[in-house]
Amino acid sequence: MKSLSRIFAVIRKEFLQLSRDRLTFGMIVGIPLIQLMMFGYAINTDVRNLSAAYVDESETSLSREMISDLAASQVIILKQRVASIQELDQLLDAGSISIGIVIPSDFDRRVIERDRAAVQLLVDGTDPIILGVARQLTGVPVRFDTQTEQLRNQPAAIFEVRNFYNPERRSAVNIVPGLVGVILTMTMVLFTAVAIVRERERGNLELLINTPIKTPELMLGKIFPYILIGLLQLVIIFSMGRVFFQVPIRGSEVHVLLASLIFIAANLSLGLLISTSAKTQFQAMQMAFFVFLPSILLSGFMFPFDGMPAIAQNIAEVLPLTHFNRLIRGIVLRGADMFSMMDELIALAVFTVVTLTLAIVRFSKRLD
């Protein structure tokens, strides 16, 4: 009971202060508005090592040769062979592959007769860069002993690219969900990063640590108001995304909300951890920016995750934004079930628990 009273006291106080702090209030609404407009344009680049799976219904030496040629191109990494197109669909939905290759049973005949495309590429179009890569793939030559010349001259006819999820290839469709994560990272980390340092700088902390309030109570009281603010930003971004860029939400809105909640909590905890380490508000902001850059560059928001070197991928796996990007793109663009991406949810939850615990441990109710 006492605990609740104290947590509630901090929450109420934070809201009162927020309502009087015009600058912060402006940031809550302003940052999503400005960012969303600025990132209306995408940045494309070359990609390698996209994960892929294939179905081979013809099982001829030609089909096997073509698959090995595709693998040799290094643009894709063949993760597995599956039995049916339905399985490929599932893998795409879960986000475990970016490209699915379908070789029909009459592959050899199609290659020779050239009346229809011989191979179908199922592409995760949520990322325009991946789509571009798939188009490159169509240029891979397929050698067929008797008709080499002919095939090389007309390679395009061998592959047919089918763009999943984003048939019109609009960048905004991909950018907006990614932007949700970027904006939440920037604002949430920053708000809580200064939250405790500010009280320290203004002298309030000396009063606060002399009261019976417990550290977890203070931390929870600090986090809660910003969770609501994060959700407010989420609504702003998706509403604007719908109005200005016609970005649909294909999956469940409840899943969007739940995934965002975990992600917001992860960022707020990280902010608090920064706040317990920094001595001044300025230092806290510097540390926050130290988190922003890798988040934006490595999380898959700007460049596809699969195309990055292993070290960058490892760093990215630690960042909450990486996991959230996979989740939110999956839910919003592929209409995927949140729980089909359990790994990402667990990663975010673990991150939250670890950082919050560290923040609580690091925060001392003493001045020494």
Contacting residues toward other proteins, per CB under 8 A:
1-2, 5-6, 8-10, 12-13, 16-17, 20-21, 202-214, 365-368
What minimum distance in Å lies between the beta carbon of 288 and other proteins? 22
What minimum distance in Å lies between the beta carbon of 6 and other proteins? 6
Give one word for 169, left, alpha or beta, with left for phi > 0 and alpha for psi -120 to 50.
Answer: left
Q: Which of 18, 296 has the CB closer to other proteins?
A: 18
Q: Which of 11, 349 has the CB closer to other proteins?
A: 11
Q: Which of 293, 367 has the CB closer to other proteins?
A: 367
Determine contact, residues 54/69, Cβ cutoff 8 Å.
no
Identity (one letter) of the amino acid at 112? I
Tokens 């209306």 belong to 40
3-state secondary structure of 123: strand
Give one word for 80, left, alpha or beta, with left for phi > 0 and alpha for psi -120 to 50.
Answer: beta
What minimum distance in Å lies between the beta carbon of 29 and other proteins? 20
The maximal CA–CA distance of the chain, rounded, in angstroms, is 87
Q: Which of 162, 198 has the CB closer to other proteins?
A: 198
What minimum distance in Å lies between the beta carbon of 219 and other proteins? 15
What minimum distance in Å lies between the beta carbon of 191 and other proteins? 16
What minimum distance in Å lies between the beta carbon of 255 and other proteins? 36
Beta strand pairing call for 50-56 and 119-124: unpaired
What DSSP element (H or E) covers 191?
helix 171-202
Q: Which of 17, 252 has the CB closer to other proteins?
A: 17
Q: Which of 8, 289 has the CB closer to other proteins?
A: 8
Bridge-partner residues for 352, per DSSP?
none
Pairs from 26-35 (Cβ < 8 Å, separation ≥ 24): 27/187, 27/190, 28/187, 28/229, 28/232, 28/233, 29/236, 31/183, 31/186, 31/187, 31/233, 32/183, 32/233, 32/236, 32/237, 32/240, 33/236, 33/240, 35/179, 35/182, 35/183, 35/186
What minimum distance in Å lies between the beta carbon of 126 and other proteins? 44
Q: Which of 207, 243 has the CB closer to other proteins?
A: 207
